[in-house]
Amino acid sequence: MTTSATQFQIDADRTTADEPRRAAVRSALGNYKVARDKTESAFASWQHARDAAAAIKYEGVNHLDHYLKEFEEKFTARGGKVFWASNGAQARDYILNLARERRVKSIVKSKAMTSEEIHLNDALEKDGYHVVESDLGEFIQQLKGEAPYHFVFPCMHLKREEIGALFQRKLGSEKTDSPEELTMIARRALRQHYLNADMGISGGNFIVAETGMISITENEGNARLATALPKIHVALVGIEKVVPRLADLALLLPMLATAGTGQQLTCYNSMYGGPRQPGEIDGPEEFHVVLLDNHRTRLLADAEQRDALHCIRCGACLNVCPIFKNIGGHSYGTTYQGPIGSVITPHFRGLQDWKHLSGASSLCGACTEACPVKIDIHHHLLQNRRNAVAEKKVWWERWLWAGFRELMKRPWAYQMAIRLAPLGQVFHPLVLGTSLDPVEPWTKTRDFPEAATKPFHDWWRDRKGVRK
């Protein structure tokens, strides 16, 4: 059975060779950079704003039990229901039972990465429910039978012609590759679902403790529709999404938009504080919030990396990551892609099985620089590497680094090794490019520099001699 690490290499081989796909992603993210730089520069101080945002999330996550209890108290006081799920199975079962008990027939979903994480759609469909993703990018990926490529831009890798052909095939629509027309096709296709659905399932960007609200950010309006019309609203939210106060959103919402898409503010930022209240015109009769742990408490317990739970899922780290840009979202083989995904997935799904995501990075630090809440992302990748080794050393690496250590502790041996290098290079051409070539992974695509015949320390020694 291929391990996820091996599969990763196989996928990376394929995607790094896919020049048109890489170019499409680069172009999309180039536009993002221009927009983001402009919006960021309008801030009186983006760097101070990051400190303030980081402080809010630090407060929320480091008093998580207190704030979750406060949220529950305020939310249930208004008729909301809170279900605490230790794992994906409990969350799935709760939602399935609810749908069954309420005789739900049709479900409309707005974007929720947590639902990807626990494979909710599969479970609902197995139970016979028709589930429709309403976010355009998710809708497209659902038709294609693919997972989202990026958790903010689910189909950024697709060209309009591909989407047009997909719609023709799956929806029987007219041939077109105009983004405007394709969007209208999706809009029309989804209209009836909003009107007919008896349950709307959403995620949540923030859990507001002070006022017992769930805040949802979107551009399209599909979440608003999915939570306005159906009788039942279920929000599946990670426990870490807590913010202490409603007013904290005055800072976090613009930062989420700026870092995520380069917008000053996303089109719709809505706060939901319960089901329809007495005297209100409309709204769901029931509002259930499923709080999902699913290994988040494990990450919480790792104090060094706890700030990875501050993540507001803006996607900025993906957008600037050269690894992501070259291998694409699907190569990660897991729900959360990019740098933050590479940090948290080993915690959520097993360190030894997923440490390769933390290994596949040059540690350039662009992610940490981009993060609006100052998560120390690239250092966490390094820490995951250390933790993986502390748990279990890789046999040949153990010998390699032990040998390296012994060599580097002996200047005479180190200097001799360097003196021998040019000699090694004389013989290198004999094995160059073959399986015997020790630097084949390098020489396959790049030239190797020539070792200097006189290393620096010899030059220095000789010069000292002359000067004496």
From candidates 70, 116, 117, 376, binder to other proteins by CB under 8 A? 376
Residue 280 in the binding site for other proteins (CB under 8 A): yes
Please, which residues bridge with residue 208 across strands?
213, 243
From candidates 109, 166, 220, 338, binder to other proteins by CB under 8 A? 220
Cβ at position 271, least distance to other proteins in Å: 4
Residue 289 in the binding site for other proteins (CB under 8 A): no
Among 216, 317, 255, residue whose Cα is nearest residue 39? 255
CA distance 227 to 287: 9
- Contact between residue 256 and residue 205 where contact means Cβ atoms under 8 Å apart: yes
Residue 100 in the binding site for other proteins (CB under 8 A): no
DSSP states along 194-217: HHH-SEEEE--SEEETTTTEEEEE
Question: Contact region for other proteins (CB under 8 A) — 118-126, 168-176, 324-332, 335-343?
Answer: 324-332
The type of residue at 297 is T
Phi, psi of 132 (to 5 degrees): -115, 125
205 contact partners, CB below 8 Å, separation of at least 6: 215, 216, 217, 241, 256, 312, 313
Cβ at position 443, least distance to other proteins in Å: 9
Q: Which of residues 232-271 bind other proteins (CB under 8 A)?
A: 239, 245-251, 253-254, 261, 263-271
Residue 361 in the binding site for other proteins (CB under 8 A): yes
Residue 293 in the binding site for other proteins (CB under 8 A): yes
From candidates 129, 272, 332, 354, binder to other proteins by CB under 8 A? 272
Q: Is the dihedral of CA 249, 254, 258, 262 positive or negative?
A: positive
> Crossing angle for the helix pair 160-171 and 136-144, nearest 10 degrees?
70
Q: Which of residues 138-157 bind other proteins (CB under 8 A)?
A: 140, 153-156
CB closer to other proteins out of 121 and 266: 266
Q: Cα separations (Å) of 85 from 95, 147, 174, 239, 294?
A: 11, 23, 44, 9, 8
CB closer to other proteins out of 125 and 406: 406
CB closer to other proteins out of 121 and 152: 152
From candidates 426, 430, 445, 466, binder to other proteins by CB under 8 A? 445
Residue 170 in the binding site for other proteins (CB under 8 A): no
Q: Which of residues 11-70 bind other proteins (CB under 8 A)?
A: 12-13, 16-17, 22, 24, 26, 28, 31-32, 42-46, 48-52, 54-55, 58, 61-65, 68-69
